Amino acid sequence: MATTKAGRPVISDEPGRGRRKTPWLPWTGSGTGHGLAPGIVLYLLLGILIAYGGDGYVVSIASLGAINVVLAVGFAIVYSQCGQFSFATFGFYAVGGFTYAWFAGRMPAELAMVAAVAVTALLGYVVRLATVRLNRLYFAIASLAIGALLTIVLVNWPALSGGASGIGPVPVLTFGLVDETDYAGVFLVAWVLSAVAVTVGGLLYRSAWARDLLMVRDLRQIAQNDGIAVRRLELESYTVHAAFTGLAGVLLADTNKFISVASFDVSVALQVLIMVVLGGAGRVIGPVIGAAVITLLPELLRGASTWSGVVYGLLMLVVLVALPEGVLGLWDRLKAWLRPRFGGGEVAR
């Protein structure tokens, strides 16, 4: 365990590692804490460029990317910050989407979105409350069963999910700003909502609450001895994760105008895990990078035809082995190498 000179334990920004001085990185919300806003502006400008400069194919890929960003940011809060791993992601994802589709047929889509996120967050709270006494390994196993159970309930509840056939067309989110038939406008609304999710995630990453989560993750026993409410923090972080995942489900139903249970299985949970690990922990830009890579890579490998799955798997294996701290870890090491040579300063490690 890493300690200070006084012998006190320190918390890391990476699982199982002592805290390093957080390196400055523009638009990640790290360092001085003033870099998040410029990053969100760039993110929004990218969305506008895609909406009005890209064709239908580009917009559809970007829509999936926005959804993956929300999934990854939410999962990073519960996994990277709090150390809880959940396979139930795909179940909450489905609940968010189907709940939105059901409510949107009975009330304005914007209210349906709020209701769907609230229902998914409440479900996440109940699930974690029921399993709060399980250790992390047993909870991960139980979460797989919970995710599968949720999808089974949905497929056998045709009044809510449409059964195996799914639901469509699903009303879209416009907030009164765009027409429902304006494909670019509907995409841009979804992109802005993903930017809101990134903003909330970035603010949470820099909060005192997130620092307490790191204590729970790395020094659970010490946190309990210091009076930190460990179980309450686990419940809160899992509820936040479920809310983000529910929003991702809303965006999936919204951008596709259709939703089916066939879209949700355990591979979704594994894919989200890869996004977070690939991007790196400690800053909100990590899961955003991971989501972008995982969204784009399958499209770039389409030319590999029947071998695309094999190539994709091998590339992921090589990257994850070569970059155990993710893309952010590589960036930090590169800065550590460059700064003494070009910055004239010592790099804190």
For 90, the token pair is 């795909």
**Which of 131-140, 202-211, 243-252 shows the highest mean pLDDT?**
243-252
Which one is predicted more confidently, 316 or 190? 190
Q: What is the pLDDT of residue 35?
A: 75
Is residue 331 very low, low, confident or very high in pLDDT (cuts 50, 70, 90)? confident
Residue 296 exposure: Cα atoms within 13 Å on the Cβ side: 9
Instruction: Note the pLDDT tens digit of each residue in 17-47.
Output: 444 333 333 333 344 345 788 999 999 999 9
- Read off the amino acid at residue 340: P
Instruction: Give me the pLDDT at residue 13, please.
Output: 46
Residue with tokens 């047929």: 105
- Contact predicate 290/72, CB 8 Å: yes
Q: Judge whether residue 16 has pLDDT over 70.
A: no
Residues 6+ apart with CB under 8 A from 209: 233, 236
Percent of the chain with pLDDT over 90: 51
The reply to whether omega before 15 is within 30° of 0 (cis) is: no
Q: What is the pLDDT of residue 31?
A: 40
Provide the token pair at 29: 């919300």
CA-based radius of gyration for the chain: 20
Report which secondary-structure segment, H or E, holds 143: helix 136-155
Give the per-residue pLDDT at 305.
59
- 3 state SS for 25-67: CCCCCCCCCCCHHHHHHHHHHHHHHHHHHCCHHHHHHHHHHHH
Percentage of residues in the chain with pLDDT exceeding 70?
86
Q: What is the pLDDT of residue 224?
A: 82
* CATH T-level assignment (fold) for domain 40-292: ABC transporter involved in vitamin B12 uptake, BtuC (1.10.3470)
pLDDT the model gives residue 343: 61
In three-state secondary structure terms, 214 is helix
Q: How many angstroms separate the CA atoms of 39 and 23, rounded? A: 16
Q: Is the pLDDT of residue 49 over 80?
A: yes
